[in-house]
Structure 1
């Protein structure tokens, strides 16, 4: 079915099947096994890659790991409603599994709304969380039964009032994102004072202002960032109530991490910080809580198999080699921009002598360099034709893959 030369690399086939650092821990769901905290290769993915012919590059997603991550989050934060951020990975198998488990869904476009609806998700379980929407797209969502919309500006609020009358709306505010490996800019959200005015206006326009949302940045490693954000929201709730608007929902967005090169704390630690902040600032009268995880649910569930296209040097005296892969910024690894997300990579020669490398993609664009400043070392024996595995690539890879840049096909994906 797939045309690739995985079978010729028998050594790699054996190595990924017998990786010594993999130890198994029981999942919350009986029968699912996962790598240990060191983030080794998932045994099920290793077996699949070793026994199937795959195109290169190709993302392999273990949907059971997605289920495990969802169960962990809902177990750690049972009072919160999960709205999976579909943009992280819109594979039908992923969305369908999460739908079966009871997840709600945060969508950013009519296409994502249609995906969820076509898989049997009720409109009441879908929010339109993008704060930048065409008038026609708001109207379309409304005709499909969507009644929950995000906004962060007066113009967007007015569009919703016209095309989605009576809907529930929530305003996104700006918060600090220091500590996030993929920080969010000022593109989304508004200052709290403006948010208050907009929430009051929403009620005047006949909409139902239900609450406030924020996002502390993707791959947030500073667990203390939720407390000041929740404090701002609590103050907004008080000020709105004093002016006759009773807010009842706080949307804390995403920010929960996957495991890349740096260690990350477990979701339980994030949950403790979040719930401590909620009780500190809201007391016993907790509002409805919404989470929008994406990366933390699907990131560690995916592995990209790629191929070395070329290894070379820029001068005879230079120690550092250039390693070119058949996947780059424009074919799924966009989050290496500014070397923000640092993926772990396995090769068939791990354990041998290594040397410093620059990692780059295959296209004719000089920006297609993955890591030049970040210190990466790879085996000296690595050569063209070797297969490599890029770990924790289940999130924001297929969705960032260009359609046809330089004639390269989009990143293929297989769910198991």
Structure 2
């Protein structure tokens, strides 16, 4: 087992002034819940816009579809990556124009393709012959970008195998799309969510260049690269600032495309919303399972099924803060449900003060992305994770 020290300076994640406001706001609210800061989301958007001014930002709605967040990003000029017709309807109802939406899911029903097309969507992702044929039949003449495989090495939450195809298969699908009356626009990839190894972008961009050249030889001029998501949020493992990743990625684009870039799309989700959220939870029980030795367990009123599913495999290590001070020790951390899978950290132990007790509140940072949308509907009778939005 490995101890993971969760004692840290608040300033690494939240200012003391903002934390005081968070405490005051949440004091009378029943845990667990997430508090989301619109100011943090706005700051992340503006930082990315400044760091990559040449790129079109398509926010990945699935990271956090809170309406206030979406309205903020619409006002700021963002475009949006949708994964389903339900996200499409959400965005249209909020006033987003269909030409600012990209249907980025490569797995979609024919009738959903037709629905999106009838609503005005004209930009679709694909990675298979079957999907290309459905697009041609249900979204004729639409722009299509094709997703290549990326192995996701270096990412805390890899997105390999299920999505994308080998370049040779993508090449064939591009030619097929052209013959079926679609408009092949470019290549997409995703280097894995919470990707800290910036060289993964280089390898993917190089493959894009190779496909651009190969299709040009067959008379198809691609002009778009969708670089997906991957930019990291601030969990426990140190990361670089936004401008550092952006500068490296820009250098890779120049290496393979010179100063005349294709159209570049980026789809930040975790990067945009993750740092904006603080999950407030209560200690339900501190349990010692052995008379001598052994590790104590802390059970929270939120766990894997309440929004922290990305602790599966202990992949993501959330910063957890206790206001208690003094001597600390290692704990195993678990959720409240009657399921033995609902253990958050057992290999990477959590170090918290020895005087943590039942009824204490703990604050879990970087929980603005993939938490409330991942929480179960009614498992063990627990309601979905609530959220509140503040400025």
Normalised TM-score (structure 2): 0.96
Distance 1:46 1:412 in 2: 20
> Is the Cα contact below 8 Å between 1:260 and 1:341 reproduced in 2?
yes
Paired residues for 1:114-153 under 5 Å:
114-153=89-128
Distance 2:16 2:38 in 1: 12
Q: Does 1:177 align with 2:152?
A: yes
How much does 1:319 deviate?
A: 4.3
Task: Give the direction of change, closer, same or farther, for the CA distance of 1:45–1:355 in structure 2 (3 Å limit).
Answer: closer
Q: Deviations over 1:207-226 (max 9, x none)?
A: 11100000000000111111
Distance 2:361 2:15 in 1: 15
Question: Which residue number corresponds to residue 221 of structure 1?
Answer: 196
Q: Deviations over 1:284-320 (max 9, x none)?
A: 3310000000011110010000011101011111241
> Is the Cα contact below 8 Å between 2:149 and 2:161 reproduced in 1?
yes
> Is the Cα contact below 8 Å between 1:319 and 1:355 reproduced in 2?
no
Paired residues for 1:74-89 under 5 Å:
74-89=49-64
How much does 1:163 deviate?
A: 1.0
How much does 1:46 deviate?
A: 3.7
SS in 2 for 1:305: strand
Question: Which residue number corresponds to residue 394 of structure 1?
Answer: 368
Paired residues for 1:6-405 under 5 Å:
21=9, 36=11, 38-40=12-14, 43-44=17-18, 46-52=20-26, 53-349=28-324, 351-405=325-379
SS in 2 for 1:225: helix
> Is the Cα contact below 8 Å between 1:346 and 1:388 reproduced in 2?
yes
How much does 1:175 deviate?
A: 1.7
Distance 1:313 1:179 in 2: 36
How much does 1:39 deviate?
A: 2.1
Question: Which residue number corresponds to residue 388 of structure 2?
Answer: 414
Distance 1:41 1:61 in 2: 15
> Is the Cα contact below 8 Å between 1:328 and 1:363 reproduced in 2?
yes
> Is the Cα contact below 8 Å between 2:8 and 2:321 reproduced in 1?
no
Root-mean-square deviation (Å): 1.4
Distance 2:266 2:162 in 1: 20
How much does 1:21 deviate?
A: 4.2
> Is the Cα contact below 8 Å between 1:202 and 1:209 reproduced in 2?
yes
SS in 2 for 1:96: helix
Range with bigger deviation, 82-91 or 159-168:
159-168
Distance 1:168 1:45 in 2: 46
Query: Which one scores higher on RCO, CA 8 angstroms, separation ≥ 6?
Result: 2
Q: Deviations over 1:182-217 (max 9, x none)?
A: 111300000001101101111111111100000000
> Is the Cα contact below 8 Å between 2:151 and 2:161 reproduced in 1?
no
Task: Give the direction of change, closer, same or farther, for the CA distance of 1:274–1:61 in structure 2 (3 Å limit).
Answer: same
How much does 1:238 deviate?
A: 0.4
Task: Give the direction of change, closer, same or farther, for the CA distance of 1:20–1:245 in structure 2 (3 Å limit).
Answer: closer
> Is the Cα contact below 8 Å between 2:281 and 2:301 reproduced in 1?
yes
SS in 2 for 1:363: coil
Distance 1:328 1:43 in 2: 28
> Is the Cα contact below 8 Å between 1:301 and 1:392 reproduced in 2?
yes
How much does 1:48 deviate?
A: 3.2
Question: Which residue number corresponds to residue 3 of structure 2?
Answer: none
Normalised TM-score (structure 1): 0.90
> Is the Cα contact below 8 Å between 2:151 and 2:158 reproduced in 1?
no
> Is the Cα contact below 8 Å between 2:149 and 2:164 reproduced in 1?
yes
What number of residue pairs does the alignment pair up?
383
> Is the Cα contact below 8 Å between 2:333 and 2:349 reproduced in 1?
no
